[in-house]
Amino acid sequence: MQAPERCAPDAPAYDVDILSPELPCGAAWLASALLDLRVPLWRPWGIDDRGHWRHEGGSRWRYSLPGSPWRRLLPGLVDGRVFRLRHRPVPRFSHGWPGEWVAAPRRVLFVRDPRDALYSGWRRACVLRQTTLVFVDWLHERFHHWPIDRATWLALYWRAWLAAPATAALVLRFEDSKRDPQGTLALALRHLGLVAPARARAAACAAARHEVAAAADRELAAAGVGPRLLAGGEPFEWRRHFTPEMHAAVDRGLAPVCAAFGYPAPTGAPLPAFDADDVARAMVGPHGDPTHVRAALEAARAVDPARA
């Protein structure tokens, strides 16, 4: 387990964990809105971007990265822009699992209906030419090099966080951020202990709109900075696209996850069998300590299906 870390020079340690899986779930919308409200985003999703920031004294920081590909997710990160960043809160946006670090005192789970998250992830992989497989076959591929497939990985990820030791936690849903962005942002700010007037919240939501990020995506692609990335997913797309075969492939082990996050119940297929020790060792690599991740996986296995 990693010890608490300082995320930038003269900055305090992270004081809130904002978790989402490695799928298009909308957490970048929240990150973008918080940045517009002068909340620092040090090392977003584990990427060491300290070289992109120049401290100019006090709360003043200049972002410096011409043609920054981060603008696809965080369109406010314009080269040369100066931010007057707050000292607190300091969120850690992450795809991590329980036990990978010492937890912050507060937690946000940014969720999306798991069926849509996986479907959107497959669409993105197709756009990026990372796969030519149909959706169901893509689901059955290993996630990274781990000995579990993608659908099992996502069920385990959220079940592990549902079983994680109690801390002050808030669940924010992609679907609510689309339906009521200002209300969703207000919930986040209250949880982070941050007060912002209505006008500032409205401006932050406007800066974080999908259309703004999509425009940056088109601009970067035209400049040769990677391919187009953003597809513009909508809530509950699975209702229009899923076949019984797709449900059977996706729904395994998701009943407690959907129940906890307020999503329509899946078919109720059980969680597939897996070896927690093998998965944990694959996750941490040959030199890592699998103890805490193995414990998280065992806790995920034990989440009560009756929660559905």
Q: pLDDT (tens digit, 9 = 90+) per residue, 236-259?
A: 999 999 999 999 999 999 999 999
For residue 289, how far is the Cα from the chain centroid? 24
Sole residue written with tokens 């119940």: 265
pLDDT class of 213 with cuts at 50, 70, 90: confident
- What's the domain range around 24? 16-307
Q: Is residue 130 part of a domain?
A: yes
Residue 208 vs residues 72, 73, 113, 182, 295: alpha-carbon distances, Å:
11, 9, 21, 11, 37
**Backbone phi, psi, residue 262, to 5°:** 80, 30
Q: Are 16 and 106 in contact (CB under 8 A)?
A: yes
Q: Are 30 and 181 in contact (CB under 8 A)?
A: no
**What CATH number did the domain enclosing 296 receive?**
3.40.50.300
Mean pLDDT throughout 199-218? 92
* Number of structural domains in the chain: 1
Give me the pLDDT at residue 142, please: 94
Q: Which of 263, 283, 206 is nearest to 22 (CA)?
A: 283
3-state secondary structure of 171: strand
Q: Is residue 10 part of a domain?
A: no
Q: Is residue 30 part of a domain?
A: yes
Give me the pLDDT at residue 2, please: 47
Give me the pLDDT at residue 226, please: 74
pLDDT class of 228 with cuts at 50, 70, 90: confident
Q: Are 91 and 119 in contact (CB under 8 A)?
A: no
pLDDT exceeds cutoff 50 at 4: no
d(CA 274, CA 297) in angstroms, rounded, equals: 10
Q: Is residue 88 part of a domain?
A: yes
Antiparallel, parallel or unpaired: β 16-19 and 106-111: parallel
For residue 77, how far is the Cα from the chain centroid? 18
What mean pLDDT is reported for the chain?
90
Structure tokens that stand for 144 in this block: 């990274």
Identity of the amino acid at 15:
D
3-state secondary structure of 82: strand
Give me the pLDDT at residue 225, please: 77
Give me the pLDDT at residue 114, please: 96
Structure tokens that stand for 228 in this block: 């187009």
Q: Is residue 1 part of a domain?
A: no
Q: Is residue 90 part of a domain?
A: yes
Give me the pLDDT at residue 196, please: 94
3-state secondary structure of 299: helix
Give me the pLDDT at residue 60, please: 95
Structure tokens that stand for 256 in this block: 């407690």
Mean pLDDT throughout 134-143? 95
The DSSP result for 21-33, as a single string, is -SS--SHHHHHHH
Mean pLDDT throughout 9-14? 65
Quick: pLDDT tens for 271-308: 999 999 999 999 999 888 999 999 999 999 998 655 43
pLDDT class of 11 with cuts at 50, 70, 90: low
